[in-house]
């Protein structure tokens, strides 16, 4: 018969020439505290050691993950979203280093006496991008309440609200100042200059004010150096400086790709529109 509760113990060998181990069966009272929940025999202290080891390992993993998350550098897209008001165009933001050419007589395609080529260059970045369609759910993200005065596209044209990207208006204002400095050329060519003189002046002052607010909002903290230059009695600033810029061609492509493409004649007051009493 088998003994119901027994254990094997090792005994000393009486015969030195005999290397085999002899086992005898001996009843044993096994303490229930020596049984781990996993079903194996182990001491309570050993179980506790393994438990504390597991807890320590888990805590270390969590702490390491937290440290890695805190020390990881955010991507350009994440930085742009954190430091900008909402815009669907943020998905197109990318950054790169640009060395400005600030030479006093640098011949830029946007600079110089008026010509069809210069006008075309400015039109491409100010007028031609057109308008965008703003989804109703995006208005709240913009901090704009839904009001009956908002310009909406007709349902037949896809609905949504009329909008545009700010940089196109800012560049429009800069172009207005450029053309205003060449009134003798643009009078009769640009409709805005056909308005009453006080209206033209107000338009120009509005553009100056919008550019002032924009420049002060994005105050450039870069540094200028100065040189002594032959023929100049005072220190001469070096405007050839390095900048981290948003990729403008990439953003402009995004705007062109997301134009509403709705004829101006179809953008009209709808039945439930209510005009504002004054200009916003």
Mean pLDDT to the nearest integer, 112-120: 97
What local confidence, expressed as pLDDT, does residue 61 receive? 86
Q: What angle do CA 226, 229, 234 make, to 5 degrees?
A: 65
pLDDT digits (tens, 9 = 90+) for 268-279: 999 999 999 999
Q: Is the pLDDT of residue 231 over 50?
A: yes
Cβ proximity of 224 and 234 under 8 Å: no
The widest CA-to-CA distance across the chain, in whole angstroms, is 127
Mean pLDDT to the nearest integer, 231-254: 97
CA distances from 170 to 127, 173, 246 (A): 11, 5, 15
Q: What is the mean pLDDT of the chain?
A: 86
Tokens coding 55: 């807890």
Q: How many CB atoms lie within 10 A of CB 208?
A: 15
Whether pTM exceeds 0.85: no
Mean pLDDT to the nearest integer, 71-76: 76
If we measure between CA atoms, which residue out of 123, 133, 207 comes closest to residue 164? Answer: 133
Helix axes 197-217, 166-180, angle to 10 degrees: 130
Q: What angle do CA 81, 87, 90 make, to 5 degrees?
A: 50
Mean pLDDT to the nearest integer, 2-22: 47
Q: How far apart are CA 153 and CA 155, in angstroms?
A: 6
Q: Is the pLDDT of residue 7 over 60?
A: no
pLDDT digits (tens, 9 = 90+) for 36-68: 444 445 566 677 778 788 888 888 888 877 776
Mean pLDDT to the nearest integer, 166-187: 97
What local confidence, expressed as pLDDT, does residue 70 receive? 66
**Proportion of the chain above pLDDT 90, given as a percent:** 69
What local confidence, expressed as pLDDT, does residue 42 receive? 53
DSSP 31: -
Cβ proximity of 235 and 228 under 8 Å: yes
């Amino acid at each position: 018969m088998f003994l119901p509760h027994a254990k094997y113990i090792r005994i000393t060998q009486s015969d030195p020439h005999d290397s085999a181990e002899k086992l005898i069966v001996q009843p044993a009272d096994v303490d229930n505290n020596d049984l781990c929940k996993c079903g194996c025999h182990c001491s309570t202290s050993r179980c506790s050691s393994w438990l504390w080891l597991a807890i320590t390992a888990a805590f270390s993993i969590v702490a390491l993950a937290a440290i890695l998350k805190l020390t990881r550098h955010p991507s350009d897209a994440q930085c742009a979203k954190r430091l900008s008001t909402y815009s669907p165009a943020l998905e197109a933001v990318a950054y790169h280093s640009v060395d400005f050419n600030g030479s006093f007589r640098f011949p830029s395609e946007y600079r110089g006496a008026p010509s069809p080529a210069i006008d075309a260059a400015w039109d491409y970045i100010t007028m031609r991008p057109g308008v965008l369609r703003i989804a109703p759910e995006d208005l709240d993200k913009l901090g704009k309440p839904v009001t009956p005065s908002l310009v909406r596209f007709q349902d037949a044209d896809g609905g949504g609200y009329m909008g545009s990207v700010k940089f196109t208006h800012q560049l429009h204002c800069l172009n207005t100042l450029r053309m205003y400095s060449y009134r003798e050329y643009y009078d009769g060519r640009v409709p805005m200059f056909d308005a009453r003189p006080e209206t033209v002046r107000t338009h120009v002052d509005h553009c100056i004010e919008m550019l002032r607010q924009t420049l002060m909002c994005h105050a450039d903290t870069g540094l200028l150096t100065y040189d002594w230059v032959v023929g100049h009695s005072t220190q001469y600033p070096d405007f050839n400086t390095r900048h981290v810029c948003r990729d403008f061609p990439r953003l402009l492509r995004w705007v062109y790709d997301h134009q509403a493409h709705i004829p101006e004649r179809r953008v009209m007051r709808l039945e439930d529109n209510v005009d504002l009493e004054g200009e916003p």
